[in-house]
Chains A and B, each alone.
Chain A
Amino acid sequence: MAYIKVENLTKEYTMGEIKLLAVDDVSFEISEGELTVILGPSGAGKTTILNILGGMDSPTSGSIIIDGKDISKYSDKKLTYYRRNDIGFVFQFYNLVQNLTALENVELASQICKDTIPAKEVLEKVGLSKRMNNFPSQLSGGEQQRVAIARAIAKKPKLLLCDEPTGALDSITGKKVLEVLQDIGKKYNITIVIITHNQIISQMADKVIKMKNGKISDLIINKKPKDIKEIDW
Chain B
Amino acid sequence: MGLLFKNSIKKIFKSFGRFISISVIIMLGTGFFLGLKESTPGMFYTADKYYDDSKLMDYKITSTYGLTDEDIESLKNLENVKEVIATYSLDTMANGSSIRLHAIENEVNKVKLIDGRMPENNNECVADSNKYQVGDILAFDEPSEYLNINGCKVVGTINSALYMFSSYGISNSGDGKLESFAFIPREAFNYEYFTESYIIAKGTEETNSYENEYNEKANELYEELILLKPIRESIRYEEIMKEAYDEITKIQNELNEEIAKNQSKLNEAKQELDEGQQTLNKTKQGTLNSINKSYNNLINNKEAIVNELKNNNIEVNELGTTINILNQTITNLKEQLNLIEPETEEYKNLELQINALETQYNSLIEINTNLTKIEEGIKEIEQEKYNFEIKIQEEQDKLDEGYEEYYSGVNELENAKKDAEEQINKAKQELEEIEKPVWYLLDRNDNTGYQNYKDDAEKVEAISKILPVFFIIIALLMCLNTLSRLIEEERTEIGILQSNGFSKTRIISSYLYYVLTSSIIGILVGIFLGYQVISKLIYGVFTANYYLPEYIVVVNPITLCTIIIFTLFLMIMVTIIACSKELKCKPADLLRPKAPKSGKKIFVERVNFIWNKFSFMSKITTRNLFRYKKRIIMTILGVSGCTALLLTGFGLNDSINIISKIQYQDIIKYDEMITLKDEVETIDEKMENLFNQDNISNYLLINQNTYTYKYDGKEETVYLIVPNNVNELNNYISLKSTETEKEVTLSDDGVTITSQMAEQLNVDVGENISIRNSDNELIIMRVDNIIYNYVSHYIYISPNYYEKIFNIEPKYNNILINGNITSDIELEDYNMYLITKTSEIEDTFDDLIKNINELIVLVIVCASLLAFAVLYNLTIINVTERKREIATFKVLGFNSKEIFIFIYRETFVLTIFGSLLGLILGVFLHRFVIYTAQTGSVLFLYNIEWYSYVISVIITVILSLIVQLIINKTIKKIDMIDSLKYVE
A residues sitting closer than 8 Å to B (CB atoms) are 51, 54, 56-57, 77, 80-85, 87, 89, 91, 93-101, 104, 107-113, 135-138, 151, 155, 168
Contacts and interface: CB of A to CB of B under 8 A. Distances in A.
Given A83-B893, A109-B892, A137-B599, A93 B984 contact: yes
Given A83-B892, A95-B980, A104 B619 contact: yes
Nearest to A86: B893
B977 interface: yes
A99 B977 contact: no
> For B892, B898, B977, which residue has the most chain A Cβ atoms within 10 angstroms?
B892
Given A57-B977, A91-B980, A101 B891 contact: no
Contacts, number: 88
9 contacts: A56-B891, A89-B891, A91-B980, A95-B887, A95-B891, A98-B599, A99-B623, A100-B620, A111-B617
B895 A77 contact: yes
B232 interface: no
B977 A112 contact: no
Across the A-B interface, give the 4 residue pairs with the lowest CB-CB distance, nearest first: A84-B893, A137-B598, A135-B599, A83-B893
Nearest to A168: B983
Nearest to A83: B893
Contacts of A95: 884, 887-888, 891, 980, 984
B598 A112 contact: no
Contacts of B982: 93
A110 B885 CA distance: 17
Nearest to A108: B892
Contact of A99 (B620, B889, B980, B981): B620
A94 B888 CA distance: 10
B894 A98 contact: no
Contacts of A137: 595, 598-599
B interface, over-half SS: helix
A98 B977 contact: no
Contacts of B887: 95
Contacts of B624: 99
Interface in B239-257: none
Nearest to A54: B891
Interface string B604-647: 00000000000011011001100100000000000000000000
A3 B619 CA distance: 39
Interface string B881-925: 000110111111111101000000000000000000000000000
Given A83-B890, A98-B885, A135-B599, 6 more contacts: A54-B891, A83-B893, A101-B599, A111-B616, A111-B894, A137-B595
B891 A83 contact: yes
A104 B888 contact: no
B627 A99 contact: yes
A93 B983 contact: yes
Given A98-B597, A135-B599, A80 B617 contact: no
B892 A84 contact: yes
A127 B898 CA distance: 31
Contacts of A96: 888
Contacts of A104: 616, 619-620
B557 interface: no
Contacts of A155: 893
A85 B893 contact: yes
Contacts of B898: 112
B605 to A, nearest CB: 10
B384 to A, nearest CB: 168
B563 interface: no
A221 B811 CA distance: 121
B895 A80 contact: yes
A136 B599 contact: yes
A177 to B, nearest CB: 16
B337 interface: no
A226 B885 CA distance: 36
A113 B885 CA distance: 19
Nearest to A84: B893
B976 interface: yes
B569 to A, nearest CB: 37
Given A104-B620, A107-B616, A84 B980 contact: no
A94 B980 CA distance: 9
Contacts of B620: 97, 99-100, 104
B714 interface: no
Contacts of A87: 893
B596 interface: yes
A97 B981 CA distance: 15
A85 B595 CA distance: 31
B600 interface: yes
A97 B890 CA distance: 12
Nearest to A110: B616
A17 B389 CA distance: 165
A135 B620 CA distance: 13
Contacts of A107: 616
Contacts of B981: 93
B894 A112 contact: yes
Nearest to B884: A95
B977 A135 contact: no
Contacts of B983: 93, 168
Contacts of B889: 108
A81 B895 contact: yes
Contacts of A168: 983
Interface in B925-984: 976-977, 980-984
A71 to B, nearest CB: 13
A114 to B, nearest CB: 12
B596 A98 contact: yes
B599 A99 contact: yes
A51 B977 contact: yes
A84 B892 CA distance: 6
B616 A97 contact: no
A80 B599 contact: no
A187 B885 CA distance: 30
A91 B596 CA distance: 17
> For A108, A138, A168, which residue has the most chain B Cβ atoms within 10 angstroms?
A108
Nearest to B627: A99
Nearest to A161: B891
Nearest to A133: B601
